[in-house]
Amino acid sequence: MRMLILDLDSLRADHLGCYGYHRNTSPNIDRIADEGVRFTNYYTPDAPCLPSRTSLMTGQFGIHHGAVGHGGSAADLRHEGVKRDFQDRLVRESLPGFLRSEGLRTTLISPFSERHSAWHFNAGFNEIYNTGNCGMESAEEVTPTVLDWIKRNAEKDQWCLYVNYWDPHTPYRVPEEFGNPFENDDIPEWLNEEVLERHKDMIGPHSVHEIDMFWSKPLPQYPRYPVEIKDMKDMKKMIDGYDIGIRYMDDHIGRIFEELKNQGLMEDLIIVITADHGENLGELGIYGEHGTADHGTCRIPMIIRWPGITSCHVDHGLHYSLDLAPTLAEMLQKPAKTSWDGTSYASVLKERKENNREFLVISQCAHVCQRGVRFDDWLYIRTYHDGYHLFDKEMLFNLKEDPHEQHNIASERRDICKEAVYYLNEWHDEMMTTMDGDVDPLWTVMKEGGPFHANGHLKMYSERLKETGRETYIPELKKRHPKEFE
């Protein structure tokens, strides 16, 4: 058995052709989708990067593994404590550790563990290739390592190769000579002048006024990346920059597929294509960031091609990324590990049999502190720390009618909000009764001053609001975050 896992950073499902996007961003990925199963309601339980990949690798929710932030105490994996053996459980119970225990040689090509000092991400791999630019890699810096590995291992069997690409992640860094294949293509219709004008009345990191976190300083080294969206020309530059990143990455993925074909490996290769999280491109008024517990940030693509088993099929069930480990275990006819929180959807792959949860809970603690509940057509978001966006405490969106989260109808549908809170409480009770200790790491983040990417920046941001004529927002920020003005 040979397996290729492509982990594509910041990749939105709805910007891929196989998910219905009108631009030709992903011809190579689309071909794999035509041969496998495509999941339309697949979510990371914990965003952004560090929490998401920790959940994927450990098979646990962030509330259990503890690494829900990007700094502070809640950016580290929770210790096993007195139950820790000579080796910790990740040796055999991490996703790669499990595959290795089943006889596969596991190889990682990624700088991720260094980027976030997430050394647990390496656990279970036989070989690790750090591509060396701490997550600022372009595809041309990654692909040669992948191709070299394939050529050296083509004759071997029983391996899993895990490859990490970064090109859709801001700042958009595709080489200029690649050009713009979407120069004459329209951006998504919903991103119009009316939406832009409404977003100009919103504040916070990665708003249209401060695409680069809290600033709009020019970044000449990244000409594809706008630092402010003042008009529809800037809006097109923003969307083009993201989509060019996907297309450039897809071209390199195509080179990998071509080499696999040349080596006679493509026909029987298991391929998994997914992402750590999506990307807000206007959702909640945020651009170029994965900073909320919402549909834009937490929904991810998942495509699985398993030769001899899967064929072109679309599954609409609700699934988490941490379901991958128990699914692979069932496909290999092995029991799931007791430490895993996920459930297998192998029946979807083998029989096209629906395997659907009633609801999902998604979390974010690095840019804001939020938990969202996804069920039926609804997305409910509860905000504990707004990351200086002045979000309402409760937000509710009908994703069928409003997939880009532009109209909060929480005040109109209190009945749906109450249902969502019931689901959230049921989930939280289950999580707290199935963990060692009694600390919810979301509250650790709150008690340590708030989410890492907001903590300590409010005074500086208030000065920027004054400089740009938006000082009317400051009283509400002081009311919500008085300690930051002390």
SS3 406: coil
Report the mean per-residue pLDDT for the chain. 97
The separation between CA 305 and the C-alpha centre of its own chain, rounded to angstroms, equals 21
Q: Which H or E element spans position 395?
A: strand 394-398
Q: Which residue from 480, 459, 464 is spatially nearest to 389, judged by alpha carbons?
A: 480
H/E element holding 5?
strand 2-8
Q: How far apart are CA 485 and CA 415, in angstroms?
A: 37
Place of tokens 């919103």: 202
Residue 150's contacts (CB-CB under 8 Å, 6 or more residues apart) are 161, 256, 259, 260, 263, 265
pLDDT tens digit sequence for 397-443: 999 999 999 999 999 999 999 999 999 999 999 999 998 778 999 99
CATH class of domain segment(s) 2-357: alpha beta
What is the pLDDT, as a whole number, of residue 354?
A: 86
Q: Where in the chain is the domain with CATH 3.30.1120.10?
A: 362-485
Alpha carbon distance 293, 286 (integer Å): 12
- Whole-number pLDDT of residue 29: 98
- So what's the pLDDT on residue 355? 87
| Helix segments in 94-179, DSSP class H | 95-101, 112-115, 139-153
Coil, strand, or helix at residue 37? strand
Residues 27 and 17: their CA atoms lie apart, in Å, by 7
**Residues with Cβ within 8 Å of residue 477, at least 6 apart in sequence:** 388, 390, 458, 462
Q: Please report the beta strands in 73-207, taking only residues with DSSP state E, as ranges in sequence order.
A: 105-109, 127-129, 159-165
What residue type is 35 in one-letter code? E
The answer to whether 271 and 254 are in contact (CB under 8 A) is no
163: helix, strand or coil: strand
Confirm if 306 and 36 have CB atoms less than 8 A apart.
yes
Contact at 8 Å (CB) between 49 and 39? no
148-156 long-range Cβ contacts below 8 angstroms, 24+ apart: 149/107, 149/109, 150/256, 150/259, 150/260, 150/263, 150/265, 151/259, 151/263, 154/263, 154/264, 154/265, 156/105
Residue type, 408: N
Q: What is the dihedral of CA 78, 81, 85, 88, to 10 degrees?
A: 10
pLDDT in tens, 340-352: 999 999 999 999 9
- Token output for 436: 């060692």
Of the chain, the end-to-end C-alpha distance in Å amounts to 60
Stretches in the chain below the pLDDT threshold 50: none
Question: What is the spatial distance between Cα 162 and Cα 273, in angstroms, rounded to a whole number?
Answer: 10
- Asked if 240 contacts 178 with a C-beta cutoff of 8 angstroms, the reply is no
Helix axes 139-153 and 232-262, enclosed angle (nearest 10): 10
Task: Tell me which architecture the domain covering 362-485 has in CATH.
Answer: 2-Layer Sandwich (3.30)
Q: Select from 153, 159, 168 the least CA-distant residue to 244.
A: 168
In the chain, which residues fall in CATH 3.40.720.10?
Answer: 2-357
Q: Could you give the angle at the alpha carbon of 170 between the alpha carbons of 168 and 174, nearest 5°?
A: 60
Burial 132-158 (b: 16+ CB within 10 A, else e): eeebebbbebbbeebbebbeebeeeee
E-strand ranges in 166-305 read 270-274, 280-281, 287-289, 302-305
Q: pTM of the prediction?
A: 0.97
Q: Is the peptide bond before 188 cis (omega within 30 degrees of 0)?
A: no
Torsion-angle region of 132 (φ positive above 0: left; ψ -120 to 50: alpha; else: beta): left
